[in-house]
């Protein structure tokens, strides 16, 4: 295997130039997908562009009404930001289900997103949260919802020379919360058979005013199930609303059949986990469901 060239630019512009100059270049975040893929020969980049030396790309910061997570921020350091963890516990728990401590000390959410696995754990939580990402490239910067990035297993909508520089989530006062649950055959270090994320807002009476439900590992990409969210809005999460939500979730599933889970198992589990995730998000928001 020929060794790819290695670059560690210290500016966004430097990285864009390197990526744009070489169609077979790949950005490197934590490398927990990319290095495995290069070593196994599944991808053969001619150069690797490490993003971790770029100033401002690591860490969580506040920018007015948004939390900004630099693309090179490892998942474990999300937990160190108390404000972010309090505002988005579901995103933080999803990112910290990835692999082991060793893996999470390197793995980034941007890498999880751009690897475009349907089973990526942090992505359903980001989609439910309404997160966006800022993409930098030769034509300048653009901001898109995170769900616009993965288009098929292993494929993204990023153009040549483009990469994600940051992920943004709302930071305003919240009257709601979020949660992420996944089903795996063991308790750590496994790939989700189903993943469900719920992000809910409530009014003072405990009526749901906004709901976003997203699923992982049950379709070629992570999916936002708008009908599932709609089933909860203007309800107090009574059984009928939860049943309708779970029904919409099952209807949105288009899973694969493999040794880790059959189609009918994945569908049924998606409904079960979505109910539990909704209940946890409501409890975190101080609402009894």
Ligand X SMILES: Cc1cc2nc3c(=O)[nH]c(=O)nc-3n(C[C@H](O)[C@H](O)[C@H](O)COP(=O)(O)OP(=O)(O)OC[C@H]3O[C@@H](n4cnc5c(N)ncnc54)[C@H](O)[C@@H]3O)c2cc1C
- Work out whether 40 is an interface residue with another protein (CB under 8 A): yes
Per-residue binding letters, 160-199, with ligand X (x by CB under 6 A): ---xx------------------------x----------
Per partner kind, with CB cut-offs from 5 to 8 A, the member of ligand X, another protein, none near residue 11 is none
Per partner kind, with CB cut-offs from 5 to 8 A, the member of another protein, ligand X, none near residue 279 is none
Comparing CB distances to another protein, the nearer of 115 and 221 is 115
In the set 14, 31, 59, 170, which binds ligand X (CB under 6 A)?
31
Q: How far is the CB of 104 from ligand X (least distance, A)?
A: 8
Q: How far is the CB of 278 from ligand X (least distance, A)?
A: 21
- Work out whether 21 is an interface residue with another protein (CB under 8 A): no
Residues 6+ apart with CB under 8 A from 248: 213, 225, 227, 228, 230, 231
Comparing CB distances to ligand X, the nearer of 158 and 252 is 158
Cβ neighbours of 251 (radius 10 Å)? 14
Beta strands 25-28; 47-50: pairing state: parallel
Per-residue binding letters, 83-112, with ligand X (x by CB under 6 A): --------------xxx---x--xxx-xxx
Q: Which stretch binds another protein (CB under 8 A): 28-36, 86-94, 201-209, 269-277?
A: 28-36
CB 278 within 8 A of CB 229: no
- Work out whether 59 is an interface residue with another protein (CB under 8 A): no
Per partner kind, with CB cut-offs from 5 to 8 A, the member of ligand X, another protein, none near residue 22 is none
For ligand X, the nearest residue by Cβ is 111
Comparing CB distances to another protein, the nearer of 28 and 214 is 28
Site for another protein in 104-163 (CB under 8 A): 105-106
- Work out whether 188 is an interface residue with another protein (CB under 8 A): yes
- Work out whether 73 is an interface residue with ligand X (CB under 6 A): no
Sheet holding 176-183, edge to edge: 176-183, 194-202, 208-216, 223-224
3-state per-residue secondary structure call for the chain: CCCCEEECCCCHHHHHHHHHHCCCEEEECCCCCHHHHHHCCCCCCCEEEECCCCCCCCCEEEECCEEEEECCCEHHHHCCCHHHHHHCHHHHHHHCCCCCHHHHCCCEHHHHHHCCCCCCCHHHHHHHCCCEEEEEECCEEEEEEHHHCEEECCEECCCCCCEEEEEEEECCCCCEEEEEEEECCCCCCCCCCEEEEEEEEECCCCCEEEEEEEEECCCCCCEECHHHHHCCCCCCCCHHHHHHHHHHHHHHCCCCCECCECHHHHHHHHHHHHHHHHHHHHHHCCCCC
Q: Which stretch binds ligand X (CB under 6 A): 21-29, 217-225, 251-259, 274-282?
A: 21-29
- State the residues that interact with another protein by CB under 8 A: 1-6, 8, 28, 30-32, 35-36, 38-40, 48, 50, 52, 74, 76, 99-103, 105-106, 187-189
- State the residues that interact with ligand X by CB under 6 A: 26-34, 36, 51, 71, 97-99, 103, 106-108, 110-112, 114-115, 120-121, 158, 163-164, 189
């Amino acid at each position: 295997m020929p060794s790819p060239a290695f670059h560690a630019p210290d500016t966004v512009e430097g990285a864009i130039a390197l990526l744009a100059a070489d169609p077979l270049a790949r950005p490197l975040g934590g490398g927990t997908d990319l290095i495995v893929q290069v070593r196994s020969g599944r991808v053969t980049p001619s150069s690797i562009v490490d993003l971790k030396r770029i100033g401002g790309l690591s860490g969580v910061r506040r920018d007015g009404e948004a939390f900004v997570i630099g693309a090179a921020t490892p998942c474990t350091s999300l937990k160190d930001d108390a404000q972010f963890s309090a505002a988005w516990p579901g995103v933080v728990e999803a990112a910290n289900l990835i692999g082991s401590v060793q893996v999470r000390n390197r793995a980034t959410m941007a890498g999880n997103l751009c690897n475009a696995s349907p089973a990526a754990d942090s992505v359903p939580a980001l989609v439910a949260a309404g997160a966006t990402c800022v993409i930098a490239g030769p034509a300048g910067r653009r901001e898109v919802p995170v769900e616009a990035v993965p288009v098929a297993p292993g494929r993204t909508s990023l153009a040549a020379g483009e990469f994600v520089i940051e992920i943004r989530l709302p930071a305003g006062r919240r009257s709601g919360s979020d949660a992420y649950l996944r089903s795996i055959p063991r308790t750590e270090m496994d790939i989700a058979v189903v993943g469900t994320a719920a992000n809910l807002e409530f009014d003072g009476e405990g009526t749901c005013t906004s709901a976003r439900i997203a699923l992982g590992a049950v379709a070629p990409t992570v999916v936002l199930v708008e009908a599932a969210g709609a089933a909860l809005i203007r309800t107090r999460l009574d059984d009928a609303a939860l049943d309708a939500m779970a029904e919409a979730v099952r209807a949105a599933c288009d899973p694969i059949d493999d040794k880790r889970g059959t189609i009918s198992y994945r569908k049924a589990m998606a409904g079960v986990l979505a109910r539990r995730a909704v209940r946890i998000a409501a409890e975190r928001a101080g609402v009894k469901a």
